[in-house]
Amino acid sequence: MLDKVKELIGEVNEFQATTPEAVEDFRIKYLGKKGLLNDLFAEFKNVEPALRKEFGQALNTLKNAAQDKVNTLKDNLESADEQKGFYGDLTRPSEPIELGSRHPISIVKNQIIDVFSRIGFTVSEGPEIEDDWHNFTALNLPEYHPARDMQDTFFIEKDPDILLRTHTSSVQVRYMENNEPPIRTISPGRVFRNEDISARAHCIFHQVEGLYIDTDVSFADLKQTLLYFTKEMFGKSKIRLRPSYFPFTEPSAEVDIYWGLETETDYKITKGTGWLEIMGCGMVDPNVLKNANIDPTKYSGYAFGMGIERIAMLLYQIPDIRMFYENDVRFLEQFKTVL
């Protein structure tokens, strides 16, 4: 009889169940009113006196083992049910992970940075809330200068000397104040102008401005840099420079690229000329160098600037600048495949 109890203890320890029904059958078999344990306890009076102590201990071990097994199996099954209810059917294939996409402005900005970084330009950044000196005066735009009207500015009401920067040229001034030539840097960032919002203009937009200062820098160096950029960015090898005016550069020019007239869209965006304006540029005015404590008799330099939105609109044939700011998922999802 004692050997039978020990055999049952082994069976209890090895028993496993995957359903509540199987656990209940096991409980009834060992712990029910008509279970094996009741029968074994009833046989206790027939055991030889010398073996009763060992037999009683074995019965208690069997009873405890059976009860512990039932409790453990129930807990395991309840935990599995809770996990399944929380996560759903764990045997089903997982849902595909929706990948996001970069904003087209970020894509184009990174492309521009990459192009200029290959020829030694570093990236510099500055505050979007700027003071009058860095945004205007240091850039050869003293108070009451008529050229200030070219940029409708958002001023901070409590302090007329504080404003939202109208261009990232202010970053270049800060960079020149804190770094000695040679200087070769580009300044990407968001700028603000008090303009009416339309398909071609917005009160918030993004620029990338470049600055190169060293000894013996000429307009020819500027032209070669711009030609390199247009080849890398647009695959276009034909540019032209038209005389223009900017207070902080002299001489100044507008840069056009020959886009071509191969499609109806080309005719539309170039107004039938094949040429597209992409940026402004020029040689840094000596007064700007003086204001930044750089000796204009020793150093010279060039600067250029472009709107990122305009470049993106050209590259992706986007007809309305407002689309960049509407956060329309249908629009943004088109750029998932663009790095």
Question: In this predicted model, what pLDDT tens digit does every residue of 245-270 receive, in sequence order?
Answer: 999 999 999 999 999 888 888 888 88
First to last CA, the chain: 77
**What is residue 76's predicted lDDT score, i.e. its pLDDT?**
81
Among 83-97, 112-126, 278-292, the range scoring the smallest mean pLDDT is 83-97
Three-state DSSP class for 273? coil
**What is residue 180's predicted lDDT score, i.e. its pLDDT?**
94
Q: pLDDT averaged over the chain?
A: 86
Classify each residue of 191-220 as buried b or exposed e, where b means 16 or more C-beta atoms within 10 Å of its C-beta. bbbeeeeeeeebeebbbbbbbbbeeebeee
Residue pLDDT, tens place only, 157-172: 777 789 999 999 999 9
For residues 31 and 34, give the distance between their C-alpha atoms in angstroms, rounded to a whole number.
8
Please, how many CA atoms are within 13 Å of residue 285, restricted to the half-sphere of its CB? 17
Q: In the 8-state DSSP scheme, what is residue 99?
A: P
Query: What percent of the chain has pLDDT above 90?
Result: 49
Angle at 227 between CA 138 and CA 192, to 5 degrees: 40
The residue whose two tokens read 């209890």 is 12
Among 121-130, 196-205, 297-306, the range scoring the smallest mean pLDDT is 196-205
Tokens of 311: 């470049």
Q: Pick from 215, 8, 233, 222: which is nearest to 110 by CA?
A: 233
**What is residue 106's predicted lDDT score, i.e. its pLDDT?**
94
Instruction: Identify the bridge partners of residue 282 per DSSP, sorted by sequence position.
Output: 252, 303
Is the whole-model pTM more than 0.85? no
Q: Are 105 and 308 in contact (CB under 8 A)?
A: yes
Q: Cα separations (Å) of 100 from 4, 103, 286, 329, 337? A: 66, 10, 47, 10, 10
Q: Cα separations (Å) of 154 from 165, 191, 205, 287? A: 8, 10, 14, 25
* Residues 6+ away with beta carbon under 8 Å from 116: 186, 210, 229
* Residues 6+ away with beta carbon under 8 Å from 142: 136
* pLDDT tops 70 at residue 85: no
Q: Give 168-184 as a 3 state SS string.
A: CHHHHHHHHHHCCCCEE
* Residues 6+ away with beta carbon under 8 Å from 338: 101, 102, 104, 107
